[in-house]
Structure 1
Amino acid sequence: MSETLTQRATPARDASARPRGRRRAPETIGLLVFLVAEIVFFSVQSPYFLNWDNWGNIMTAVAITGVLAAAGTLLLVAGQFDLSVGSGVAFVGIVLVQTAPSLGIVPAMALAVLAGLGIGLLNGFLVTVVGVNALITTLGMLGIFRGLTLVIGKGQSIFIEGFDWATARPFLGIPMPAIVLVAVIAVFFVLMHFTVYGRKMYAIGANPVAARLVGIRVNRVIFTGFLLSGACMALAGLLVTSQLGSSSANTGVGLELAVVTAVILGGTSLSGGTGTIFGTVVGLLIVGVLSNGLTLLNVDSSWQQVATGVLLILAVAVDRLRQAYLRKAG
């Protein structure tokens, strides 16, 4: 019954599903061509780029962003944002390192996961129950939890011992963060493309009023999306704390920009209703390969930030042009 209602929620989109699929194909191909061009360029410029260990470094570098971007794609498809992810990751980490000495690693991990879920719950409550705009809500939460992390950690880096699982390479020399990223991407791919819940998120992003009229509980569905984002914050917080062996108020700074860049660059529309996990993965790799390649070429990190900002602006510009084209076409 739910599936039928979801399919009815977007009759216009269902009727044009094939034409839209053809229109999206060039965009995906364009992203892949750009990624391949990056790989070829940096391969020619540096003999170390195609090294297996270097690709392990790339996957490790993009893992945290990728875990958060998976949930970010799901939310943006429904027309929602979560800009609190960076401070959420830092808060999860500080909860872990502060409680581990007294509680032990496993109870501290459980408490840290609850902290991440709590952030998602607060975001979801404010957006769906109180009715505060998602952008304002999550920007506010960004400041709140960055401040709380600073207060709890007293502005210092706090180290943790015996929590280095994310530094392991358990299979074929593949780093653990890369394995976690692949698992998360697989889960969200199935969730978005093969479940009723995923179709509901697309329907809400396409037309929330129509989705509500045909019986979709819009607020409940969106609330669940924010909870999933909180779960990804928790996982990312555990990953980054294990990688660094510490946490501080500066942990996760700039993750919001990195996540938004990957998601929008991958083709997820700011207007909601369209986007894929595959596109986000390609966008993530484009940013990761660019950063790694520039590092190998000894380009200053400040210019790497400039390049990331340019990519974000270009991605938003392309999204606007695509929306204008779709409105003209139909």
Structure 2
Amino acid sequence: MGKDVKSLLFKYKSLIGLIILCLAISCVAPRFLTITNMLNVFTQVSVNAIIAVGMCFVILTGGIDLSVGSTLAIAGAVAATLAQKNFNIFIILVVVLIIGGLIGFINGIIVSKGKIQAFIVTLATMTVFRGVTYVYTNGTPISGLGSSFTVIGNGTLAGIPVPVIIIILVVLVAWYVLSQTRYGRYVYAVGGNEDSARLSGINTDKIKSLVYVLCGVTAALSAVVVTSRIGSASPNAGSGFELDAIAAVVLGGTSLSGGEGSVIGTIIGAMIIGVLNNGLNLMNVSPFYQLIVKGLVILLAVMLDKKNK
């Protein structure tokens, strides 16, 4: 019985951690559990959560994508340019998602066909596409976006912020793909043991390439949300976002070695980071100390994951 309880607690450790964190913060900061603040938390978490969903696919295969922040920057800059010229929002979305998919395709092809470590490949493309963003924007923010575009990041539907609705849709699609489709089973198989997956007839190169495409698409989608919400696109946008996305995936219980994890866990991980940031802000904790706390929480999650192996 003891082992069963321990196993159950460990299985849902991320959710339990989130609940304990929420209760602890609400005791110190009573404003935390208000409806207004919780909607604010969900909205703030949406950008990282969208990126983290794509990152989850990549990490499940045993890879990593450090270029998502740069992908967000260039995609956001293009979205802002099109919004300035009053392009239809659906056209902007299609163009931006294609850009994100192409960047992911480049990463995926080099990783899968070139047999180069994903860390090195995406570190290089992170630098390249950040440079491309600076060249494209001439190092200056792009502003003056139309109101029809900014509604994506600031609007509401039936009282629910649009970014929250977007992340719900993204999670539902990602959950279905991973848990209900053959491709999802193949993603877990490649992450669990790539050689065995290849010997069983799975096109591992195709599976790995596609997860980077998906990651690029989610980074581009998050670019539309954040650019719309801020009302401008900065060449520095997305800096450090790759670390928050990776942290959300790890905190959600996905193994960095691949083959184990879930999208739902990733969203819980993103919520832990968002709740932690919001709670520390409500308690007027210095941003410098917030970084220390966040780093320690991530380290604890990795240690717990390692202990379970």
Match of 1:96 in 2: 79
Distance 1:22 1:142, change over 3 A: farther
2:121 aligned residue: 137
SS at match of 2:50: helix
Quote the residue 2:10 is aligned against. Answer: 27
How many pairs were matched up? Answer: 302
Cα separation, 2, equivalents of 1:258 and 1:23: 29
The 1:193–1:23 alpha-carbon spacing in structure 2 relative to 1, beyond 3 Å, is farther
Aligned residue for 1:254? Answer: 240
Question: What's the CA shift string for 1:147-179, capped at 9, x where partnerless?
Answer: 1111211222211223112211112x2111111
Say yes or no: does 1:218 pair with 2:199.
no
**Farther-moved stretch of structure 1 (157-166 vs 136-145):** 157-166
Partners of 2:47 and 2:74 in 1: CA distance: 15
Of 50, 53, 60, the match for 1:77? 60
Conserved 8 A contact 2:54-2:219: no
What TM-score do you get using the length of structure 2 for normalisation?
Answer: 0.93
Alignment of 1:1-330 (within 5 A): 25-102=8-85, 104-106=87-89, 107-159=91-143, 160-162=145-147, 163-165=149-151, 166-171=153-158, 173-323=159-309
Shift of 1:27: 2.1
Contact 1:262 1:287 in 2 (8 A): yes
TM-score by length of 1: 0.87
Gaps of 5+ in 2: none
Amino acid paired to 1:27 = F
Unaligned runs of 5+ in 1: 1-20, 324-330
Residues 196, 109 of structure 1: alpha-carbon distance in 2 compared, 3 angstrom cutoff:
closer
> How far, CA to CA, are the matches of 1:314 and 1:111 in structure 2?
40
SS of alignment partner, residue 247 of structure 1: coil
CA-based RMSD of the aligned residues comes to 1.7
Distance 1:40 1:23 in 2: 22
Deviations 1:1-52 (A, max 9, x none): xxxxxxxxxxxxxxxxxxxx99863223332222122111221212211111
Are the aligned partners of 2:74 and 2:132 in contact in 1 as well (CA < 8 Å)? yes
Match of 1:3 in 2: none
Name the amino acid aligned to 2:190.
I
Whether the aligned pair in 2 keeps the contact of 1:73 and 1:263 (CA below 8 Å) is: yes
How far residue 195 of structure 1 moved from its aligned partner, in angstroms, is 0.9
Residue 244 to residue 35, structure 1, CA distance change in 2 (3 Å) = same
Cα distance in 2, alignment partners of residues 88 and 198 from structure 1: 24
* Amino acid across the alignment from 2:283: L
The answer as to whether partners of 2:62 and 2:257 remain within 8 angstroms in 1 is yes
Shift of residue 102, structure 1, vs aligned partner: 4.3
* CA deviation vs aligned residue, 1:77-120 (integer Å, no higher than 9, x gap): 11111111111111100112234444724444432222111111
Instruction: Report the 3-state secondary structure (helix = DSSP H, G, I; strand = E; otherwise coil) of the residue aligned with 2:112.
Output: helix
Q: Which segment drifts farther, 314-323 or 67-76?
A: 314-323
- Decide whether the 8 Å contact of 2:54 with 2:218 is kept in 1: yes
